[in-house]
Amino acid sequence: MDRAALSAGRRGSPVVTDDPVLELRGVRKRFGAVQALDGVDLRCAGGEVHALLGENGAGKSTLMHVVAGLVAPDAGEMHLAGRPVAWSSADAARAAGIAMVHQHFMLVPTMTVAENVALALGGLRPFRPERLAARVAALAAECGLEIGDPQRIVDELSVGEQQRVEILKALVGPTRVLILDEPTAVLTPDEVDGLFALLRGLAASGTAIVIVTHKLREALAIAQHVTVLRRGRVVGRGVAAQLDEASLAALMVESPGDLRGPARADVAPEPLVASRGAAPLLRVRGLRARDRRGALVLDGVSLDVPAGAVAVVAGVEGNGQTELVQALSGVARGTLASFEGDVVLGEDTIRSAADARAAGLAVVPPDRRRDGLVLGLELWENLLLAHDALAAAASLGVLDRRAAQRDAARRLAEYGVRPSDPRAPAAELSGGNQQRVVLARELGRVHLRAVVAANPTRGLDLVATVAVHERLRALASGGAAVLVLSSDLDEVDALAGAKYVLYRGRLAGPLPATADRAELGRLMAGVGVAA
Amino acid sequence: MSSAARVLAPALVAVPVALVFAAVVALVSGADPWTAVRALLVGSVGSASSVATTLLKTAPLLLTGAAVMLAFRSGVFNIGAEGQLLVGALAGTIAGTAPGPDAGRWVLVLACGAVAGGAWALIPAAFRIVRGVNEVITTILLNFVALYLVSYAVDGPLQEAARQYPQSESLVAGAMLWRPFAGSQIHVGIGIAALAAVAAGGLLSYTALGLRLRASGLNASAARLAGFPVTRDLAVAFALSGALAGLAGAVEVAGVTGRLYERISPGYGYTAIAIALLGNLRTGGVVAAALLFAALATGATAMERSAGVSAVLALGVQGATLLAIALSSTTVLARFAAVRTVAGNGEEAPDGA
């Protein structure tokens, strides 16, 4: 650990040889009682990749929204290529060459991929769909992004595919500053490598790149400079080459004692793999499913998860993850064009979502805003979005609102949701906090025998991620069958369960305990697998 | 701005706007603006009898407004309150004119109206559930079917024995709603309407079914994953909404007209959509908006009588007021609310994920 490389506060910015393309001085922004940004300075030179690190609520997204013209700062200066600027709108920022890839996608779900990209291209000239599609396909190839058929409707794409479209959108048009908010969460390791190669290429051509992330490993791999925010202030900055993960992690959290378990890489978690011959609690047999386009999205998926064990299905969105969760949670028959196979939890066959809930299944869906929450409802109401929990909260059909809200306040506090007011609408929460609400509801179920969780820690910071992994492992230790789908190899390692890989609807595994990250990464990308 | 104020604001803002429009309409038609404005005010709420008339018009507007509120908050775009009201009036008339015991017949009338309205609404529900047909289209089309059904009934099987006018026989005495004040048309149906509207709001906010309906309406995908019976709840939402509108028809027949005829509704079920939206889809707001529209309709008649403004123009005040409120509530009020939310709500998340 090289503490000397980190200088606290505003003193001693690292030497940047070029003039900064983007420079922020003393940016402040207040939302109600929360000082989201409290005098933040940031310098990013052309040709530089700058990583912005911090916990949930540290102010990273707010700062980037200021740069992209989405949020007007209360105070502070912004300079673009040496000239002072103040954005009247996001369009003004975009026209000046600032592009942002958002954590939550800004796509029109009912339009095709090509049409969405065309929106970013601008212009009012009429176009022929095929020619536009060809042009978008060429652009994607040029950027090294796999987006599939550009004529597909965005709503039909997986989260991962949608994100690739977002990145493509940001790369069209003049781009002096490219901001990426949590860009790697849904990419395979290979795709992350590809993205980083692409970013390095862009940087080499003079673009300033700011990448917002929780993943220290990636930040250190791609960035030249690092800035760490905590509660709206810069608490450290430095040159990536002189930093390591431990020192950054210590800076990001307020009390380094919170960093337990997998965050301290020296302690390997005890594997939670059931002994040979243990009776499976969650049994999945021969799942085959086609989506509305007729594509085979699950191709004979079978696996067993015994009580007390953790199974991890590695893989990237778009390879059957969404459909596997639908099948396990009992909604596949209503949402997929065709579906066959059996899901059994204990003695209960799961044919509907009500069956799944009655059998004691907790579900953390891959898309929390689409399936996990009702954004227009208040938090306490969202915590009742499970058939059995809602029935338990009512007597003769009438809700005990006060008791439900009291219970909600306790659970929201337990999972560190901010705001913790149970009457707050779910729509007002940041992405990480929305994920916490889903986790609070599902992992806190009274009747819980099995968990199916897709990317359960997406958008969560380091401390919360560790806490969720510990909670999942604790549930397994308590006798539950835990199945986690993840695209994050760190998560696969941290959960230390039986390893599977889902690629193009086919499940490989369980892999031998000796399978390492490189092998998992290859399987997730389909290398060495007959398509 | 408290939530109650936010719900009631559009309806309250509408009052001065309506008065200004009334003055403008009077000027345009060559009448004295002051006389017109006074006629609108006095004619709607200025005397015991005008208040009574306003309350009488409020009952069907409140019931249909609550019907639309319940539907919209459950994700059901029921534009068919008019048709459900007419079918309710038809069923209520059949129950109220059929031979049989007299005592307590009004209960049967109201029950038949509600059941018929609910059943009528289950037709578009079935279309949506089985074939995925958008209920906006089916409910509108069924309004015409209902209208012609009433038209056929009063010109055919239900026509009065005298066969003089296209109207039904009078309801039997026991089928009429109780009028507590001698010499006034005020009937107990107004109270029933208020109770039903409060019950609809209470159902949405205070019951497990209400939470399921709202969850399914806002995000069916999440509701399905929660294990809620989404399809059954959808049918329930259609049926409850239709029942409220059908009750409105029965109340109108048993409380005011005493018989069925073709033009029994001056478009209550369509005004109801404006009322529900103006009332922010909340019970308090719907009550305020229903009172406002009833007062405007009553006052418009008075304007014609006292100020010589054509009733057509006077009714135009309603439309103009609604447009002005719609404009202000989506721009000025929404902006005001947004500013207040950002500035006044300390719990607002600064989106720092």
A-chain residues near B343 (CB < 8 A): 32
Residues A36 and A76 in one domain: yes
Q: What is the mean pLDDT of chain B?
A: 88
Task: Divide the 531 residues of chain A into consecutive groups of 10 and give the mean pLDDT of each group.
Answer: 40 49 92 82 92 83 91 92 89 89 82 87 74 86 79 80 83 85 74 81 87 85 91 88 82 57 48 66 93 86 93 86 93 87 93 93 91 94 94 92 95 88 88 90 93 90 87 93 90 89 89 81 69 40
pLDDT band (50, 70, 90) for residue B343:
very low
The answer on A336 and A428 residing in a single domain is: no
Residue A352 shares a structural domain with residue A270: yes
Same domain flag for A236 and A294: no
On whether residue A368 sits in a domain, the answer given is no
- Token pair 């309250």 is found at B12
Work out the angle at residue A350's Cα, subtended by the Cα atoms of residues A344 and A354, and round it to the nearest 5 degrees. 145
Residue A187 and residue A169 in one domain: no
Residues A274 and A411 both lie in one domain: no
Structural domain span for residue A164: 109-173
Structure tokens at A268: 């390997």
Q: At what angle do helices B311-330 and B3-28 cross, to 10 degrees?
A: 140
Query: DSSP label at B281?
Result: T
pLDDT for residue B158 is more than 80: yes
Domain shared by A70 and A189, yes or no: yes
Residue of A nearest to B343 (CA): A32
- Distance linking the first and last C-alpha atoms of chain A: 44
pLDDT at B328 over 80: no
Question: pLDDT tier at B306 (50, 70, 90 boundaries)?
Answer: confident
Length of chain A measured in residues: 531
Residues of chain B in contact with residue A464, where contact means CB-CB under 8 angstroms, are: none
Whether pLDDT at B342 is above 50 = no
Residue B300 parent element (H or E)? helix B283-307
Q: What is the CATH number of the domain that holds A190?
A: 3.40.50.300
Q: Which residues of A touch B206 (CB under 8 A)?
A: 398-399, 401
Distance from the Cα of B207 to chain A's closest Cα (Å) equals 4
List chain B domain ranges.
3-344
CB spacing of A353 vs B226 below 8 angstroms:
yes
Residue A208 belongs to some domain of the structure: yes
Answer yes or no: do A285 and A165 share one domain.
no
Contact B228/A390, CB-based, under 8 Å?
Answer: yes
> CB B352 to CB A377 under 8 A?
no
A475 and A344 housed in the same domain: yes
Cα Rg, chain A, nearest whole Å: 23
Query: Is A369 within a domain?
Result: no
A279 found inside a domain: yes
Mutate to test the interface with B, among A31, A322, A331, A355 (most CBs of B within 10 A): A31
Please compute the mean of the pLDDT values over residues B53-73 and round it to a whole number: 96
Residue B162 structure tokens: 């005298």
Cβ-Cβ contacts under 8 Å, A430 against chain B: 349-353
pLDDT at residue A161 in the model: 79
Q: Would you say A85 and A251 are in contact if contact means Cβ atoms under 8 Å apart?
A: no
Question: Which B residues in the span 279-308 are in contact with A, Cβ-Cβ below 8 Å?
Answer: none
Asked if the B3-344 domain carries CATH number 1.10.287, the reply is no
Q: Which residue of A has its CA nearest to B226?
A: A386
Give the pLDDT score at A255.
56
**Domain end call among A142, A173, A204:** A173
Whether B208 sits inside 8 A of A381 (CB atoms) is: no
Indicate if A141 and A116 belong to the same structural domain: yes
Q: Report how many domains make up chain A.
A: 4
Are residues A322 and A461 located together in one domain of the fold? yes
Query: What is the predicted ipTM?
Result: 0.84
Q: Is the predicted pLDDT of residue B153 greater than 80, yes or no?
A: yes
| Residue A102, min C-alpha distance to chain B (Å) | 11
Burial per residue of A230-249, b for 16 or more beta-carbon CB atoms within 10 angstroms, e otherwise: bbbbbbbbbebeebeebbbb
pTM reported for the whole predicted model? 0.79
Q: Say if residue B26's pLDDT is above 90.
A: no
- One domain, residues A273 and A310: yes
Tell me which residue in A31, A354, A398 faces B229 most closely, judged by beta carbons.
Answer: A354
In sequence order, what are the beta bridge partners of B226?
none
In a domain, A169, yes or no: yes
Q: What is the DSSP string of A468-524?
A: HHHHHHHHHHTT-EEEEEES-HHHHHHHT-EEEEEETTEEE-PPPTT--HHHHHHHH
Nearest Cα residue in chain B from A33: B346
Q: Do A421 and B221 touch (CB under 8 A)?
A: no
Residue B52 has pLDDT above 90, yes or no: yes
Nearest CA-CA distance, residue B137 and chain A, Å: 21
Residue B222 and residue A368: Cα distance in Å, rounded? 9
Query: Is B225 close to A331, i.e. CB distance below 8 A?
Result: yes
Classify burial at B164, counting beta carbons within 10 Å of its beta carbon; exposed 0-12, middle 13-18, buried 19 or more.
exposed
The per-residue pLDDT for range B194-240, each reduced to its tens digit, is 999 999 999 999 999 999 999 999 999 999 999 999 999 999 999 99
In a domain, A271, yes or no: yes
pLDDT over 70 (residue B337): no
Q: Label residue B300 by pLDDT band (50, 70, 90).
A: confident
- A370 lies in a domain? no
Euclidean distance between CA atoms A511 and A63, whole angstroms: 42
What are the backbone angles phi and psi of residue A450, rounded to the nearest 5°? -150, 155
Q: Does B208 sit within 8 Å of A393, measured CB to CB?
A: yes
pLDDT score for B109: 97
Do A302 and A506 meet the contact criterion of CB atoms below 8 Å apart? Answer: no
Cα A208 versus chain centre, distance = 24
